[in-house]
Amino acid sequence: MVVLLGPPGSGKSTVGALLGERGLRWREWEAMILERWGSRDAFVADERRALPWLHDEIIRWIDCEDEIAVIESVGLADAALLDRLERDASAFVVRFDVTEAVAMSRVGQRPQHQHLTDDVEWNRAIWREFYDAVAPSRRVDLAIDAEAMPADQIASHILQRATP
């Protein structure tokens, strides 16, 4: 399994989709959350029930086939899931690093209504939390400067490092 870890606007979804095109299993979970709960606010309001539901769905999806699965996370609300995946499976964790300015520019330019929120300031707060709480403490196998190379090269680099 490959875990794409990074703040909003770092390119996780873009690279995940490219890895999916190259034969790994990829699924966009934010669309499923929005479909099931209607909005980020509804998901957060019922987080005690919603987050375990999401994590169970992700685990079932990972376990259903033998091909390498790719998931993405900011690592904040999903910390327990990431701990479980690292403990129970051989997760190859890739951290995407990106400056705040570039990340927020990307957030502002991405297609609307495909992520939990399109609000730049909310994403900026999550970007800061990622670098305060997740980046310094989460074990990673590979750190990528997500500004230094295009998404297709990042996907190729991950494939070379993470697949047998």
Q: List domains and CATH numbers for the chain.
A: 2-162 (3.40.50.300)
Q: What is the pLDDT of residue 161?
A: 93
Q: For residue 22, what is the DSSP state?
A: T
State residue 26's pLDDT score.
Answer: 95
Q: How far apart are CA 87 and CA 85, in angstroms?
A: 5
Q: Reduced to 3 DSSP states, what percent helix, strand and coil does the chain have, rounded to the nearest 5?
A: 55, 15, 35
Name beta bridge partners: 25: 69
Q: Is the pLDDT of residue 117 over 80?
A: no
Query: Whole-angstrom Cα distance, residue 92 to residue 5?
Result: 10
The per-residue pLDDT for range 95-113, each reduced to its tens digit, is 999 999 999 999 999 888 7
What is the rounded distance in angstroms from the CA atom of residue 124 to the CA atom of residue 18?
25
Residue 32 is predicted with a pLDDT of 81
The confidence score (pLDDT) of residue 125 equals 95
Per-residue pLDDT, 101: 97
- Residue % of the chain over a pLDDT of 70: 99
Split at pLDDT 50, 70, 90, the class of 2 is very high
Q: How far is CA 60 from the centre of its chain?
A: 17
pLDDT recorded at residue 116: 74
The larger pLDDT score, comparing residue 32 to residue 107, is at 107
| 148 pLDDT tier (thresholds 50, 70, 90) | very high
- Work out the pLDDT band at 149, boundaries 50, 70, 90: very high
Question: In which band, very low, low, confident or very high, does the pLDDT at 47 lie, cut at 50, 70 and 90?
Answer: confident
Mean pLDDT on 29-35: 81
Residue 34: CB atoms within 10 A of its CB come to: 18
